[in-house]
């Protein structure tokens, strides 16, 4: 299964944009890039996913590099509620399993 690499932690100030990077150099053509986040003491929560084109939703934007070897999750204005562990995950083709790696712990300061 293709792997992802994320920084262990990042910090941001409230109301500033946050760019969370993810490297996935062994991604295959059919792997979707998923982002989930986990707030303290809660189950993971879907954020966004995409294949090739950049994606936007009410929570975030996903920028995917042209060669698909990396992607960036963009939170346009961080809030204290965005403090969580963010996981970048590649779907395993033709399966119903989502394998979590070691995500990025985002701290947001007032």
Q: List residues binding other proteins (CB under 8 A).
A: 32, 34, 36, 38, 42-46, 49, 85, 87, 91-103
- Kindly state the smallest distance separating residue 84's Cβ from other proteins, in Å: 13
Q: Closest CB to other proteins among 21 and 101? A: 101
Distance CA 89, CA 70 (A): 12
Residues 6 or more apart from 13 whose CB is under 8 A from it? 78, 108, 109, 110
Are the C-beta atoms of residues 76 and 62 closer than 8 Å to each other? no
Q: Closest CB to other proteins among 13 and 30? A: 30
- Kindly state the smallest distance separating residue 48's Cβ from other proteins, in Å: 9
Q: What are phi and psi of 64, to 5 degrees?
A: -110, 130
- Kindly state the smallest distance separating residue 95's Cβ from other proteins, in Å: 5
Are the C-beta atoms of residues 83 and 75 closer than 8 Å to each other? no
Q: Closest CB to other proteins among 1 and 11? A: 1
């Amino acid at each position: 299964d293709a792997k992802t690499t994320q920084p262990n932690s990042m910090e941001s100030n409230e109301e500033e944009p946050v760019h969370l990077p993810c490297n996935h150099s062994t991604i295959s053509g059919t792997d979707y890039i998923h982002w989930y986040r986990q707030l303290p003491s809660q189950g993971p929560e879907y954020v966004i996913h995409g294949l090739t084109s950049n994606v936007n939703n009410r929570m975030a934007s996903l920028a995917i590099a042209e060669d698909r070897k990396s992607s960036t999750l963009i939170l346009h204005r961080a809030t204290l509620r965005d403090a969580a562990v963010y996981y970048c995950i590649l779907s395993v083709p033709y399966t119903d399993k989502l394998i979590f790696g070691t995500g990025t712990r985002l701290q947001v300061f007032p």
